[in-house]
Structure 1
Amino acid sequence: MTKSWRAVQAAVPEFADRVQALFDAHKHKTIATIRADGSPRISGIETAFEGGELTFGSMPNARKGADLRRDPRFALHTATVDPVEGEEAQWPGEAKIAGRAIHSGAITNGPDGDLFRADITEVVLTHLNDAATLLVIEWWTPEHGLRKTERE
């Protein structure tokens, strides 16, 4: 059974809102895919949350699209911003979403290319606690729900 963004929102709405806000804060994100030889590939990408789905595209003949059609596993990462010295508690954090890309046909409202939607297996949110003294890692999986750990 596939897990859409809608499923994440239904299971953990407040967590999903914080993750989506980080993804929506910047246009460009990073996606990791798997090359034909099994090695990782990192590429820039844009994503959208529409109608309860997380979607992203690939231009015609792009290597990341070929990677995803061959092996659909991916990991997305939000834009990374550094904490401001002295204002670390204001750092918004970063988010990651992993899963499998489901090819959904051609992009219909934009440049030519392939459209993919995410079958989500994991969502991770990393941020600092209110005192900015601990790294807080929250993660959700369909199997185990929302979990949290803190590190010094």
Structure 2
Amino acid sequence: MTTWQEFEQQAPGLAPRIRARFEAHKHHVLATLTKDGSPRVSGTEVDFHGPELYLGSMAGAVKAADLRRDGRCALHANPGPGTDLAGGDAKLSLRAVELTDPAEIAGYEAGLPEPPPGRYHAFRLELTGAVLTEVAGDHLVISSWHPGGPVRVVERR
């Protein structure tokens, strides 16, 4: 799987634009898989620390249970107010890996502005794909990337 830093190295023109969409707003939408395989969407926050992208969750939250059972997920950046999608519409395909090593958990906590209140789950998010859709005049520009491949750009009119 691919770290955020590896994504930045493989797609230097796309990764910063997608990161900007996730840093523009605090809350985003996470899609996970329930026990029966149906989708579940939840609000969430993400954190960039060094080479990694992380997600935290309150202990016992259903999204954490979903991710512990099946780490496949998708993350949609909050598009913000209005209808112009300034900066684009960013989506990530991911695999969440729960942090269990005490040293990794300590590193995660050290990168946070303040420690989480109470018990929590933390997940490292490994990228399996990224898409940024932008409006350019009268058409859409869709930039997509998958690990090990080039950025593909498609225009739809």
TM-score strictly above 0.5: yes
Amino acid at match of 1:32: A
The structure whose RCO (Cα within 8 Å, separation 6+) is larger is: 2
- How high is the sequence identity, in percent, across the aligned residues? 41
Distance in 1 of aligned mates of 2:12 and 2:116: 30
Match of 1:118 among 78, 100, 125: 125
Say which SS state the counterpart of residue 151 (structure 2) adopts.
strand
The answer for unaligned runs of 5 or more in structure 1 is: none
Q: 1:99 aligned to 2:105?
A: no
d(CA) in 2 for partners of 1:83, 1:134: 18
SS at match of 2:13: helix
TM-score (norm 1): 0.89
Q: Is the 8 A contact 2:30 2:74 kept in 1?
A: yes
Q: CA deviation at 1:77?
A: 0.4
Deviations 1:25-50 (A, max 9, x none): 00000000000011100000000111
Q: Residue 46 of structure 2 corresponds to which residue in structure 1? A: 47
1:2-151 matches, cutoff 5 A:
2-81=1-80, 83=82, 88=84, 91-105=86-100, 108=109, 109-111=115-117, 112-129=119-136, 132-151=137-156
Q: Which amino acid aligns with 2:76?
A: H
Mapped partners of 1:52, 1:128: distance in 2: 30
Measure the CA separation in 1 of the matches of 2:126 and 2:140. Answer: 28
- Contact 1:122 1:142 (C-alpha < 8 Å) held by counterparts: yes
Gaps of 5+ in 2: 110-114
